[in-house]
Structure 1
């Protein structure tokens, strides 16, 4: 945290409702103290940061990302230590503009690889919670994705909630034939491509999954009640029926992640849930598994939040794509990756907007080229990442 007073000047400041052209932000001891129009900016001081007429936006809040799993296991046979992966990942996230990351850990167990076994996830959560106690480049949070066929993990999840070892919980169900995997052929192709299964092995995996016992509604409600009591946000996942939306409301869930169809996304919105879809879905022009198009949902007003899902760079790219293509104003597009996630997760008292009293988690973004680029990342008033692009020097033949 930066101690003392400093300013960011000469930038186009994006607030939840407007853009302040050529404005400045004053910070003291890591907290935003004022947001000023150009006419009130005093002369340049030695500790000031000149934004050079670039965008000044809040740090990005990523509600759902399995990037830590990819960093630990970049190849099926390559497994790095969690602590090493954690340190390397945050270096990347800083200059992708993500200042608050909810690391999504899948507590799945059934033939999903060692990385998602109960034993491994227990250790990974402990490692992350230990690592984030030390000086860090970003804010680290944890999101436990609790598969409802993982009956053995009930006491683990209850203990984590009671001791507040997690920051978000979601109930997931990847049983073939419903939700994300309604189409068995697409699931087969996914398993063969990502898990190196043969066609026969893929169908055997699906048949075995269908035989698994599911946690009953009473136990899910008891777990949801603990989350509510501990003020830990709860999400439903891959909703594909109105019954699932109704169940989510009974659990006091606040979020619906990745609803499968437009009518279900709209129903989730009408039920008062924040709808989260993937930023890669925007960039790629559709869902990677042929489910709901995020752009279609956005045009219908059925999206509140974008998350990185599996590709963190997509967060900033998607927000600026939506703005530059005229789908949203710049405040509306930036809200999808900052203010709205903060509201969905109940953390607006600390982060999510460029407003007095909030943490000075701030990005300076240059969008003069084909893709937006973070030129400076500021966490609690301190610069934690900076890029200075240099002109290419032309080599001459001697």
Structure 2
């Protein structure tokens, strides 16, 4: 990574401020935004040639790390190498703060990474301690509550590593994301497994998952409360799902699958997050509610890159093009200020004096946002 610059001026930029877009300049000193002004800068600076300057993106849910560590069925990559390759892609996508989504809990059919979670966590912790990362990495534990070993796994993890966010997930076929069994069979067959094997595994998941969930969910909620960890509820579908999340003190609704659930979550004061790929594609790959529909109804607070890191900035710039009532500052907030606020990160996510100088230079090419430069705390990282 580049040497930290104690002072820097970014001039001739299209600044996306919290409430407006203006042509101007921004000064950085000691890793923070020192000043913001209109017109040309009073001193000599880096000419951004009219490119957009936005805050560094804050990513709360990305499944991308595991695809670097396990790029093919049965293949395991060097964990540090996987972490660094993932980090480079994250930073190049304009993401300066990322909650690494690590899945806790083994599947009954043997799929998933299971105990290898700790091996990945150790690589992340070592890279972070050695200052090897471009982005700032925090931890989001995606807890598969139908798993028999999830509570023990989370307790073991929490004893060694900090956790910034816990999501309560239940991918048992026949409900939530996979209430359409046919869609689940299609999803489960991506690795080349036979339909016969998938059906056998599905029966096992349904049988064992229900019993485990009744015990594991309250145990994980209690653990999060004890340690002051923010909670998210994954794939809420019904009013009962949302009511349960509300009683548990959930702060974030991750990918509600129906408009009904999203509306109920907002009414309960729960922040709603949807996938950027869903918005870009025009719908969910699982047949669930479209992110654009929720955005049009004013029920979308945060976008997540989910499984494509580069989708985050693209979706944010597409939002105002698709929906006239959404301004560019409001759209950028879904990937910066709003996720920062939801996780208690008050020092970033907005172009304001005094905040951390996490910055992204964006050039529009035929309407497509292209990440040109990225700074974290004033340091050039991509």
The two structures share one fold, judged by TM-score above 0.5: yes
Distance 1:161 1:270 in 2: 32
Q: 1:201 to 1:250 in 2, by over 3 A?
A: same
Match of 1:81 in 2: 78
Distance 1:202 1:304 in 2: 35
Match of 1:30 in 2: 31
Match of 2:204 in 1: 208
1:40-189 alignment runs, 5 A limit: 41-44=41-44, 48-111=45-108, 115-117=112-114, 119-135=115-131, 136-161=133-158, 165-189=162-186
Alignment TM-score, normalising by the size of structure 1:
0.90
Instruction: Tell me by how many angstroms 1:32 deviates.
Output: 1.2
* CA offsets 1:290-345 (integer angstroms, 9 cap, x no match): 10100011111111000011111110111111123344211011011101111111
Instruction: Tell me by how many angstroms 1:100 deviates.
Output: 1.1
Contact 2:279 2:291 in 1 (8 A): yes
Match of 2:191 in 1: 195
Distance 1:329 1:203 in 2: 46
* CA offsets 1:114-169 (integer angstroms, 9 cap, x no match): 6521x111221222122212222111111111111123231331343466522210
Match of 2:348 in 1: 351
Contact 2:168 2:234 in 1 (8 A): yes
Instruction: Tell me by how many angstroms 1:186 deviates.
Output: 1.1
Residue 307 in structure 1 maps to residue 304 in structure 2: yes
Distance 1:14 1:112 in 2: 48
Q: 1:158 to 1:330 in 2, by over 3 A?
A: same
Contact 1:95 1:374 in 2 (8 A): yes
Match of 1:296 in 2: 293
Instruction: Tell me by how many angstroms 1:222 deviates.
Output: 4.4
* CA offsets 1:164-192 (integer angstroms, 9 cap, x no match): 52221011001111000101111112112
Structure 2, unaligned runs of 5 or more = none
Distance 2:101 2:121 in 1: 10
Q: 1:162 to 1:244 in 2, by over 3 A?
A: farther
Structure 1, unaligned runs of 5 or more = 386-398
Residue 13 in structure 1 maps to residue 9 in structure 2: no
Aligned residues: 377
Distance 1:9 1:201 in 2: 59
1:218-237 alignment runs, 5 A limit: 220-237=217-234
Distance 1:216 1:210 in 2: 11
Distance 2:26 2:117 in 1: 40
* CA offsets 1:262-292 (integer angstroms, 9 cap, x no match): 0110100111111110000011110011101
Q: 1:368 to 1:34 in 2, by over 3 A?
A: same
Residue 332 in structure 1 maps to residue 333 in structure 2: no
Distance 2:117 2:223 in 1: 20
Contact 1:158 1:223 in 2 (8 A): no
Match of 1:238 in 2: 235
Residue 368 of structure 2: SS of its match in structure 1?
coil
